[in-house]
Amino acid sequence: MTQQIRNIAIIAHVDHGKTTLVDAMLRQSGIFRANQVITERIMDSNDLERERGITILSKNLSIEYKGLRINVVDTPGHADFGGEVERVLKMVDSVLLLVDAFDGPMPQTRFVLKKSLDLGMRPIVVINKIDRPGARPREVVDMVFDLFCELDANEQQLDFPIVFASAKSGYARFEPDDTGDNLDPLFETIRDRVPAPGGDAAAPFQFLVTSIDYNDYIGRIATGKIFNGTVREGQTLARIDKDGNISRGRISKLIGYQGLQQIAIEQAGAGEIVTIAGFDDVRISETLADSANPIALPYVNIDEPTLSMNFIVNSSPFAGQEGKYVTSRNIYERLQRELRTNVSLRVEETDQTDTFKVSGRGELHLSILIENMRREGFELAVSKPQVIFREENGERLEPIEYLCIDVPEEFQGTVIEKLGQRKAEMLSMKPMDGINRLEFHIPARGLIGFRTEFLTDTRGTGTMAHSFAHYAPYKGEIEGRKNGVLIAMEAGETVGYALFNLQDRGILFVGPGIRVYAGMIVGQHAKENDLVVNTSKGKKLTNVRASGSDDAIRLTPPRILSLEQALEYIDEDELVEVTPKSIRLRKKILDENDRKKEEKRKKG
């Protein structure tokens, strides 16, 4: 049976076409009816995934091809969700490394490839988007080979099979110039080059838990791969936690995959990817084993978080007006629920009862959690992201990111200068058709707040991507935000006349008719200091009409910050107030006099 199974994961940098390729594989495997309506990016089931066009959670499916069952795992491409990729790799026997035929290998390509090579896998390289204008598939193959060499691949791994494809058009070829309008070359390569899963059906049962989900009807469910033995519904199994403690439970439901569908099955054997229900306390990386002869599988260590921020109960004058869940108990329970499935997250209680320290793999990782919470009706305030330092042999170490930037030649000087101020070290510069690719090592601190500045400096034409590289000695102070902010003086509603008079003072974050409170940030000051302003001051009316005085006022549209931009923008003494309807910026201390006292205390 195991000879007819192939377990593979699709790994790639964000936006190189993983989910689109899975769509094409599903369509050509005959899993859908001829008249069935199919959406694009079927595997992106979560609302946020559809809106942003990125994969956040890894997902499983099964494809039948000429008597062969191919179990495919679609993985996230963003470095912040690397924890998802690390676990999934333990479940498969090979990977499809997808690389864009124009962009070539990018930071996340390096990160996920390194993980798979370390596990001894022999990747299949798929050069995708060969029909894209400017595609250079042959050159990209050389770049991939260089990357394999850099990552110390062995001889067998360097002898990787190559398939050229266009996931969007649904074809794969052994050579870029071949003809063909289907994915058969890819399916054949998977059949011939991916090893059948090992494992002994007669040995004691062993199952490694690689992801956890929750079902309202059957409770907690664990997905993973059966390494040895066979299992039946209703069977009693031993659960072995990371400390070797053993508890026993019974399988209430055994679930397999057919296409995208989860189907109830009676039994499964070595090599299969299945989902097991019945163990309410099971956690990721634990082993479910034979009850009579429990043997644990090696525990999967996940890279530690590099960034943390405080989640605080909202204390603004508008608290409780827009959200349903506002108390510290609500927030704590929600964070504990997230810990069940989000393996890269850490939650700690602090000495303040209304504050929780939440650590993750990056700003996007944490902002996705915050965005999900606000959509569920939560209201909270969050602090500026802080990097997590380490102490080793009395030396302070900080996380360093590998940063890759593609920028038009005319803007590269500005970008290099700005990154120099943020303690970045240039690794290489490669010209590519009017665009230069710059590679750096930069402290994770230096990237906080850089993206918005970068897009402004390059007029939206630059692209940047980064992934965690290593820890290195502390690089010294990095200058923070250069501009002060405009702060509302009192509670009220913004008036067009007042905003018109404030336009010259800086960039506004609010338009007319918006409710504000004292201490709320309404804009960016043109100078370095903070300025308290009156946004609710109306025009003094008289019965004298004068030429020109009644002309319509013209307001510049306000800069509306997204959640990620707001988190990047704020300073140490500021918070982002997040509710289901609004994202507001505010000072931690709302009262102006109290802020002045605090400043004096710090200086004194």
> What's the pLDDT tens digit per position in 467-491?
777 889 988 888 877 888 999 998 8
Total residues found in the chain within this entry: 604
- CA torsion 112-117-121-124 (nearest 10°) is 60
Using DSSP's 3-state secondary structure scheme, residue 212 falls into strand
Residue type, 216: D
Give 36's pLDDT tier (boundaries 50, 70, 90). Answer: very low
**Residue 312: pLDDT over 80:** yes
Fold classification of 2-193 is Rossmann fold (3.40.50)
Per-residue confidence (pLDDT) for residue 231, from 0 to 100: 86
Chain segment 439-453, per-residue pLDDT in tens: 899 998 888 878 878
Q: Which of 21-35, 134-148, 506-520 has the lowest mean pLDDT?
A: 21-35
Residue ranges per structural domain of the chain: 2-193, 206-290, 390-473, 485-576+585-603
Mean pLDDT for the chain overall: 81
CATH code, residues 485-576+585-603: 2.40.50.250
Instruction: State the residue for tokens 């004068």.
Output: 546
- pLDDT higher than threshold 50 for residue 141: yes
Answer yes or no: CATH 2.40.30.10 is held by domain 206-290.
yes
Domain 390-473 has CATH 3.30.70.240: yes
Read off φ and ψ for residue 333, nearest 5 degrees: -65, -40
CB of 571 closer than 8 Å to CB of 586: no
Radius of gyration of the chain (CA): 27
Binding residues: 15-20, 128-131
The secondary element (H helix, E strand) that includes residue 567 is helix 563-569
The residue to which tokens 């329970």 are assigned: 333
Pairwise CA distance, residues 283 & 342, whole Å: 11
pLDDT-derived band at 86 (thresholds 50, 70, 90) equals: low
| Separation CA 12–CA 10 (nearest Å) | 7
* pLDDT at position 562 over 60: yes
pLDDT for 436 beyond 80? yes
pTM listed for this prediction: 0.73
Binding residues for GTP: 15-20, 128-131
375-406 pLDDT, tens per residue? 889 999 999 888 888 888 888 898 888 888 88
In this prediction, residues 120-138 reach a mean pLDDT of 88
- Asked whether this chain's domains 206-290 and 390-473 adopt the same fold, the reply is no
